[in-house]
Amino acid sequence: MANKETVLVSGGAGYIGTHTAVALVEAGYDVVIIDNFSNSEPSAVEGVEKILGRKVAFEKVDTCDKDALRKVFEKYPFNTVIHFAAYKAVGESMAEPLKYYQNNLVSFMNIVEMMKEFNRPNILFSSSATVYGDAEKLPVTETTPRQPATSPYGNTKQIAEDILRDCCRAYEGLYGIALRYFNPIGAHPSALIGELPRGVPNNLIPFVTQTAAGIRPMLSVFGSDYNTPDGTCLRDYIDVVDLAKAHVAAVNRMTGHKMEQKYEIFNVGTGTPLSVLELITRFETANDLKLPYKIVDRRPGDVPAVWADTALANEVLGWKAERDIDDTLRASWAWEKHVRGIK
């Protein structure tokens, strides 16, 4: 492909980063992955390379280390950065807030500072639906007011969004897009990359697949007395391959000089809510197995329901979630089996 643009992917060995690196290369971009493996493994980069059938540029760099980051900017000619590198465990952020503010904000500010120093124009930031909190009106649009964050993790997403907005306003050559992800699930259809949680998973699907694999004896469903159709929480589960494609659409918009404002925000979800019990049933049916589960108390901090209005991403990015939820849930299970060596 003529005129190959390069994209720097920070946290590119992580769950969403690996899938996005694959999608970018498949769309004709070159990628440079940086990661410090604080919550990922070198095998994740190997998985990306196996899928693509070629090597990708990789540097083991901590984005909090400004000098190391500067060397990456000196070495590679990218105009666009996708910044995934961040800690993401809500519970841990409550116990160790400084660790979260330090890592997530310093790394983000380092990236923006380097972009300014080296005149690199485009930054795409990984935000989260967590910024909406317990929204008054559903589905949420990008203009739905953000609620005060209920965790330091959520606060780092809100603060980074604000930093990006202010920097794009102040610095002439800088353009930013924040993608607010809903609940990413699934794995690449090849089962060569997927989510690799360390220790006991906090998120629903890794807990489900580990329970199916017999690593966890029982799945706990957190609360069945919410004001929802079956009493369990409603979320918008977005396939990670679809999510990766949303990044490509956003990068196309930036590199094609199509942005209408210097800082834009898009929801990335399916627009369809699913309850915890619905998800469990669909996982069982799609994979032809039974999951042991019990209803327990609500988990503090969970909102009853949140799902996306995706009209803006559909119309402006020309992106839409496409994968069938049953295929997504089969991919989640195929990935868990791959990791555990289960036939």
90 binds ligand UD1 (CB under 6 A): yes
CB of 107 to ligand UD1, least distance (A): 17
Regarding 216 and contact with ligand UD1 (CB under 6 A), the answer is no
**Could you give the angle at the alpha carbon of 150 between the alpha carbons of 146 and 155, nearest 5°?**
65
Interacting residue with ligand UD1 among 46, 65, 302, 327 (CB under 6 A): 302
Candidates 10-18, 40-48, 198-206, 242-250: pick the segment binding ligand UD1 (CB under 6 A).
198-206
Give the interface segment with ligand UD1, choosing from 78-86, 139-147, 296-304, 316-324 (CB under 6 A).
296-304
Give min distance, CB of 59 to ligand UD1, in A. 26
65 is a site residue for ligand UD1 (CB under 6 A): no
Residues 43, 147, 203, 255: which binds ligand UD1 (CB under 6 A)?
203
- CA atoms of 178 and 157, how far apart (whole Å): 10
Contacts with ligand UD1 in 125-164 (CB under 6 A)? 128, 130, 154
Measured from the CB of residue 276, what is the shortest distance to ligand UD1 in angstroms?
5
Residues in Cβ contact with 204 at an 8 Å cutoff, skipping those fewer than 6 apart:
183, 185, 235, 276, 279
Q: How far is the CB of 90 from ligand UD1 (least distance, A)?
A: 4
Number of residues that bind ligand UD1 (CB under 6 A): 20
Q: What phi and psi, each to the nearest 5 degrees, are found at residue 14?
A: -85, -175
Pairing of β 263-268 and β 175-181: parallel
The answer to the question of residue 97 lying near ligand UD1 (CB under 6 A) is: no
Query: Which token pair is 245?
Result: 């494609």
Is 153 a residue of the active site?
yes
At residue 336, what is the residue type?
E
Judged by CB under 6 A, the chain residues 219 through 238 that form the site for ligand UD1 are: 219-222, 233, 235
CA distance 185 to 203: 9
Nearest-angstrom CA–CA distance, 24 and 81: 12
- Identify the residue among 183, 210, 328, 332 touching ligand UD1 (CB under 6 A): 183
* Plot region of 174 (φ>0 → left; ψ -120 to 50 → alpha; else → beta): beta
**Closest distance between ligand UD1 and the C-beta of residue 323, in Å?**
17
CB atoms within 10 A of CB 50: 13
Are 104 and 160 a contacting pair, CB within 8 Å? yes
Helix (H) or strand (E) holding 126: strand 122-128
Evaluated on CA atoms 146, 15, 237, 258, the torsion sign reads positive
Q: Is 38 in the site for ligand UD1 (CB under 6 A)?
A: no
Distance CA 214, CA 210 (A): 6
CB of 297 to ligand UD1, least distance (A): 10
Site for ligand UD1, rule CB under 6 A: 88, 90, 128, 130, 154, 183, 202-204, 207, 219-222, 233, 235, 276, 299, 301-302
Active-site positions read: 153
